[in-house]
Amino acid sequence: MTSYPNASGIILALDCIIFGFDGKDIKLLLIKRNFEPEMGKWSLMGGFLEPQENLEDGASRILHDLTGLKNIYAEQLGVYGNVGRDPVARTVSVVFFALINIDDQDKDAVRNHNASWIALDKLPSLIFDHNDMVGQAIEHLRYKAAMHPIGFELLAEQFTIPQLQKLYEAIYNTPIDRRNFSRKLLSTGLLIDTGLKNSHSATKKATLYKLDTVRYKKKFNSFWNFMPESRESLMSN
């Protein structure tokens, strides 16, 4: 048999939810559509799976087209397939969750796609079921960041503890005690002191650190220990 005679013609789409951090806010990269359907409205960046692509390869292609970056941290988030979710054709979407350092993006690629970074508290209404996808992605980001140091994907390779604290405060939308955060973070043993200082600090120059990726693999659950609040309180914000 060379075909499935009773198979229906369902389209498989890929939608990518791309988070970034500008030093103050967690932001989402959205496109203002200049094509139908829903021209002029905001949406996630997406596309259709090509015949010879794996799902991950298709997501990597779409992410590269929009940001100019390769080897982006991305993982499959879920599948959305309600009948009627796309007014044009029966479409099932596989959703990917991605994190990038905004400073690494190709600004021309972003501009060419009519894309913009928008803070989570200023998100517009999105097409189809994209708002539902984003809601799930925010919950996943908060859950995953409490367990694993994926937040480092949103920062430069070298960072200060105050910068990391601002990141986690933005992720959970809640203030974190500075001394408690610093003490618990350093106690994980996951940071390497580079011996350098942040020359851009407005006050006392803070120490620059980087992630010890080797130790991280051995102490995979260490980040449960440094978060000042309980997991339950963080998830509720």
- Which residue segments constitute the domains of the chain, with CATH numbers given? 11-146 (3.90.79.10), 155-236 (1.10.10.10)
- 3-class SS string, 157-223: CCECHHHHHHHHHHHHCCCCCHHHHHHHHHHCCCEEEEEEECCCCCCCCCEEEEECHHHHHHCCCCH
pLDDT of residue 218: 72
pLDDT of residue 7: 77
Of 150, 145, 156, whose CA–CA distance to 210 is shortest? Answer: 156
pLDDT at 219 over 70: no
Q: 36-45, 119-128, 213-222: lowest mean pLDDT where?
A: 213-222
Q: What is the pTM of this model?
A: 0.89
Paired strand residues for 119:
27
Q: Are 26 and 120 in contact (CB under 8 A)?
A: yes
Mean pLDDT of the 70-88 span: 96
* Percentage of the chain exceeding pLDDT 70: 90
Distances (CA, A) of 171 to 26, 124, 222: 7, 19, 18
